[in-house]
Structure 1
Amino acid sequence: MRLAILLCTVAFSVYAQLEPKKYTTLPLGQIMPAGWLSDQLDIQTNGMAGHLHEFYNYVKDSDWIGGSSAYSSLEEAGSYWFNGIVPHAVLTNHAELKQRTLEFLTYVLDHQEDGGWLGPEAGNNRTRYLWGRYPFFFGAIQMAENDPSLTDRIVDALHKFVPLANKMVKAGEGLEIWTNTRWEDFVMTLQWLYDYHPNGNEELLLDTMKWMKWTGDPWEQIWQEEIFPTTEVDNIENPTGYVLTWHGVNMAEGLKALPATYRFTSNQTDLDLASSGWDLLFKYHGRPSGIYGADEYLAGREATRGSELCIVVEAMFSGNYLFQVIGETKFLDQVERIAYNALPGTLTGDMWARQYDQQQNQVAAKNMTPNPFYVNSAYSNVFGLEPYYPCCTVNHPQGWPKFIANSFLFNTAQTELVHAHLGPATVSTTMANGNAVKITVDTLYPFSDSISYSITADAPFKFTVRIPVWIQAPTVNGIGILPSDGLYSVDIEAGETSIELGLPAEIVTEERLHNAIAVHRGPLNYALDITFDRTIIKNNTNEPRASDYEFAATSDWSYAIDPSTLEYSYTEPDGGILPSPIFDEGKPLGIITVMACPIEWELAGDTFVKPPPESPECIGDFEKIALTPYGATKLRIGEFPVVSSRS
């Protein structure tokens, strides 16, 4: 049936213009991190991400420079690494990493097959699958936008690849179960070519987009409310038959599928389903840390089930794209929650170790007995170089730099500049009619409640700021404002303009399973920071800093809290500079205190905590405990049983 629809669609379609996105990204490098965000990228440079090319077998230089056919295969590892390190290198202006990405790009393009194929399968009889190239394409596009001298060669290589891919897909070649869920990434590459460098190939590009969709998994079926899973899917059969669409990373990437489809179908239903599907995912599987549960497949809302690091960075990328096409700020709100909680929460502060799966309630990081995850191994919540699969090792570096690179956007006409993700940055860009604009964003947000903008412009333009949903009484220059659909616009005149944005936030609680609650203030989720002993359980002989560690709790964690006693306190940092790394034990400046009492709360085996007791009883006196931002905790309680301290 799908093939018949496909043949009809391709045979009788009218090749029209793509629907424009509501917002477009600025070329890579026109937005640069500042303040604590710049420090985060410096830490990532000095952590495993900035050194993988030196020692990690999948991506180290010797595997692809000098003619080896094993240059990470463009099957997954090399593509992932390239996709993340390209924006990282540009946003840190790191000469060595920029040179490494240029060498990687050059090597891949130099070895493109005459027929168009890109990757180590060129010139041999290795089986060819399309998907492994897609992250490489994203990295190459970013390089073209940052360095126009590379654009022609990258565009020519992509246009040489597209006819081959079109032919392969029509013949049923290059497709397998992973390619069939991730076709939207190639469609986005095709749409970039169509929008900026069509080279007279509009019909072929559109034709290939349609073939990718109609030979791939139908995400419009997955997001139907009546069949979407409302609990963990451990023992549930996917009624669509497309089993891998419930896989956590595939779903994170698949969130982009219907917005990408809308651009060539103009079908409003595609956007409606994308928006409602996002809501379903976070309603039934969401975590207070911002991400959803999937260890390896959708895992419901239990606090000890896992969330893979790859879904963190892929959901961030997809949420940005959803906003750019649909325009609903709920996507940006969620991405900001993920970036400021789940992303740092699954990495050590120095970014030399990461988990495969993080937990909202995580009282140990060790080889677990028994294992709370239905599919993933008992080693998945260890901090190290590659606990369980290595994909997160090479994929996680895209998280911070792409968050920053998507923090400002143009409207389609480039007459409006939107501050989409709030944090310290500088912008230097040219808008419509040659209007040169520079913006400095001075802020400690989300660790403070104010943002200062210094703007210079050659001509007037509209400046729009996203006002997050958790801000109830925002102000501009001390005067209350009323955002519209999460956005507030200011008409900027030529010359110099200063804006003071006030974003006061209140403590709020979120109801979770088992009558438990989570605690939030602004975009930050707050958790009990459990101290721990760190023990090396696997040495890395190539790079000792990339060893695997077991974390064993050394402080009490079995508390119930009285939410009526929650109080926020904040200490101004010395010199206005946050401690570094800010997402590490004992570093955050803002804490929430709460009255709590010890309770009986058992472990499941010796490794993870049981669900929060639904009717806890105090077994000791009340005391005041401190909750800190989730992202700074490595062992934590983030969903608490509730009691009253007022008898």
Structure 2
Amino acid sequence: MSTIASLAHLSLFVAVCVGQTASRLAPKKYLSLPLGTVKPAGWLSDRVNPGQLSLLCLKVQAAGLAGHQREFYNYVSDGDWTGGSSAYSDLEEAGSYWFNGLVPTGVLANDASIQNQTQQFLEYVLDHQDSTGWIGPEVNTTKARYLWGRLLPHLIDPSIVCLGETKADPSQADRVVGAIWKFIQLANTMLDNDEGLEDWGRSRWEEFALTLQWIYDNYPNGQEDLLLNMMHKLKITGFPWEDIFAEANFPKTATEGLTSPFGDLAWHGVNVAEGLKALAVSYRFTQNKTELDIASAGWDIVFQYHGRPSGSFAADEYLAGLEAARGSELCMVVETMFSGSYLYQVIGDLKYADRVERITYNALPATLTGDMWSRQYLQQQNQIAAKNMNPDPFPRDGSYSNVFGLEPNYPCCTVNHPQGWPKFISNAFVLTPDKRSLVHVYLGPYSVNATLANNNHVAVTVDTLYPFSDTLTTTITADKPFKYYVRIPSWTSNGTVAVNNGAAHPVSPSNGLHSVAVEAGTTKITLNLPAEITTEERPHGAIAVHRGPLHYAYDIPRSQTVLARNTQQPLAVDLEFDATAAWQYAIDPSTLTFHAGTPESGKLPSPVFDSGLSPFTISVTACPIVWDVAGDTFASAPPESPACTGSPVNITLSPYGTTKLRISEFPVYSAT
């Protein structure tokens, strides 16, 4: 292990043992806003015409699998937390995952049906808390009680923000907080007695610490010392992420055949995705700034050795290296998004916001069908089929993993994926610590209504087709003057800003943020953020293509076969996709050309993350090559320096998130 990491962990252990811990939580760089303050607008929310599917994303998600699984899906359809009987339910996480995603989905989509579902679930859970304070399906059973999946913040932060901050029902908020405090007292005793933790709980200790921090910041009840001590206990008994992310210990290749000094779960993809924020979480109660440096280095090392052009990283169950045929789990995608948002709010580094935005507009939609009724367990950068795979490129996941369906491989992603879009939207704006300024972090169409310091009521409307446009028009009304900040992504080239229809000036960001002095009344900001086409080097001499926040891929024409249909809900189907045209191409990077189409009526087609609907494309000269297939289901590694086997052709590259079969890491050749 690295010296800096081991010393950090040792110093914390000594501090806790002798009682020399921080007496308060360190402030974050930026403050999150209550759920519902930031709402989706434009293509993120609107309907095209009555009777048509709504545009991505929240209303499509609400109308799809996420919004309906409570009606039929066995893991969350019964009165208890899981309803399922498979071995996978042993850790009882399904209800927590489901609630975590559906509370913000219901609020942001303004969907009364979903809000009713989550309300009923919340009432059931609270009604069944036992006299000891335990919450969960183990009540009145002989099941062992593990804090995972109770230590998730899923039952806490969303419900309190929804029910308490809206002030719609303060008495209900009081009831929820009271139940949480009963559980905290019990969990504290369990930790003292070395009870309730197994490896899953130890690997995800930061999730419980997050919950305790939220309670500390909002409802401490004079028990700040107890909460801080519990955070320290969780860290001491949990996985040492500072050592796991250390250069000397971290795996530089796919992990099958390697032995982790911390146990296999330290290299589990979803654990790593959640663990990315662990050191930022612990910094708040240790106030040890070294932990922020380790968190930053941990973020970098994960993407250096396992990163994907889609923004995510590879882990087909465990960290899987850089090969384009290896998988990235959907649960891991949404957990990485949330970890990146938290890291940005604590540290303020542009790299976290840039990557979260890239993941959201690429990796997340790519692994869902356009109507969001079917999802994958694993997506691939080069994915030439979605079917039962023989042979299987995923050493520790099943051959069904890249099928689009209700429950390919494991059910966790079915109940967990709905957190992705609503948490991204909710974290799109933040406050400065003095609450005097608003910061627009994730670019896209939104409406915001917030009250800043000094009772300054502010309303913001962002009108844009971003990421399918380079221009954002923001209209702000404010009672009093304040400073408004907007993130300028690192990929922007020659960006400009104009205020109140004045002359456009070059953007001048500091640490990625451009500031505008907003006066009382109405202010209009026009932001233009063009980008150049860039290429990224990948293994075997291949390249990936980017422009702005979007990664581009060849959208392979496909056939569709229904493999299975749920007997209770016919819209929940398992789909096999097979290529119906050649995909074996090398491209000439010098011929990459961007094309910006103009959507009719200034609106995007619906749902925009589906084949052939994006107004943004890139054309490139390509030639057919020999490119081997492993069995009949996945592409071998891109061939290096391939010879053309036919005449050059022009092919069109589409945003990665719109493709379901694709090539996105290309061999290269020169057409001249």
Scaled to the shorter chain, the TM-score interval is over 0.9
Q: 1:190-339 to 2 correspondence within 5 Å?
A: 190-239=212-261, 241-339=262-360
For 1:246 and 1:13, locate their aligned partners in 2 and report how far apart those are by CA, in whole Å.
32
Q: Secondary structure at the match of 2:315?
A: coil
The equivalent of 1:56 in structure 2 is 73
In structure 2, the partner of 1:176 is 198
**Correspondence list, 1:94-493, <5 A:** 94-133=111-150, 134=152, 135-148=154-167, 149=170, 150-239=172-261, 241-477=262-498, 478-493=504-519
Read off the aligned partner of 2:162 and give its amino acid letter: M
Size of the aligned set, in residue pairs, is 642
Distance 2:243 2:508 in 1: 38
Where does residue 574 of structure 2 map in the other structure? 548
Q: Secondary structure at the match of 1:465?
A: strand
Question: What CA distance in whole angstroms lies between the structure 2 residues aligned with 1:348 and 1:145?
Answer: 35
Partner of 1:518: 544
Secondary structure of 2:373's partner? coil
What is the CA distance between 1:124 and its match in structure 2? 2.9
Q: Give the residue type in structure 2 aligned to 1:233.
A: T
User: Residues of 2 paired with 1:101 and 1:397: CA distance?
Assistant: 13
Aligned counterpart, 1:497: 523
Residue 73 of structure 1 deviates from its aligned partner by 8.8
Measure how far apart 1:62 and its partner are. 5.0
Amino acid of the residue matched to residue 47 of structure 1? G
Aligned runs of 1:598-617 on 2, under 5 Å?
Answer: 598-617=624-643
> Alpha carbons of 1:77 and 1:561: their partners in 2 closer, same or farther (altered >3 Å)?
same
Superposition deviation, residue 14 in structure 1: 4.4
**Worse-matched range after superposition: 250-259 or 536-545:** 536-545
> What is the CA-CA distance between 1:61 and the residue it aligns to?
5.0
- Identity level (%): 58
Moved more, 158-167 or 398-407: 158-167
Contact 1:28 1:145 in 2 (8 A): no
User: What whole-Å deviation, never above 9, does each CA across 1:591-628 have from its counterpart, x for those lacking one?
Assistant: 00000000000100110000000010000000110000
Amino acid paired to 1:565:
T
Aligned CA RMSD, in angstroms, stands at 1.9
Q: Give 3-state SS (helix, strand or coil) of 1:189's partner.
A: helix
Q: Is the 8 A contact 1:348 1:354 kept in 2?
A: yes
SS state at 1:281 partner:
helix
Ranges in structure 1 where 5+ consecutive residues have no aligned partner: none
Task: Give ranges in structure 2 of 5+ residues lacking alignment.
Answer: 1-5, 46-54, 499-503
1:33 aligns with 2:33: no
AA matched with 2:174: D
Q: Which amino acid aligns with 2:38?
A: I
Determine the C-alpha separation between the residues in 2 that align with 1:428 and 1:571. Answer: 32
Paired residues of 1:64 and 1:107 also in contact (CA < 8 A): no
Q: CA deviation at 1:106?
A: 1.3
Is 1:585 the counterpart of 2:607? The answer is no
- List 4+ stretches of structure 1 deviating above 4 A: 1-8, 61-66
Indicate how the Cα distance of structure 1 residues 558 and 145 shifts in structure 2: closer, same or farther if over 3 A, else same.
farther
The separation in 2 between residues aligned to 1:400 and 1:411, in whole angstroms, is: 23
Aligned CA distance change for structure 1 residues 457 and 5 (closer, same or farther; 3 Å): closer
Structure 1 residues 307-341: Cα deviation after superposition (integer angstroms, max 9, x where no partner): 00000000000000000111101101000000000
Could you tell me which amino acid in structure 1 is paired with residue 522 of structure 2? E
1:574-601 per-residue CA deviation (whole Å, 9 max, x = no partner) reads 1111000000011111100000000000
- Normalising by structure 1, report the TM-score: 0.97
1:37: how far off?
Answer: 1.1
Deviation of 1:141 (Å): 3.7
Deviation at 1:112, TM superposition (A): 1.2
Alpha-carbon contact 1:362-1:636 (below 8 Å) kept: yes
TM-score, normalisation: structure 2? 0.93
For residues 621 and 270 of structure 1, do their structure 2 counterparts lie closer, same or farther at Cα, with a shift above 3 Å needed?
same
User: Match of 1:81?
Assistant: 98
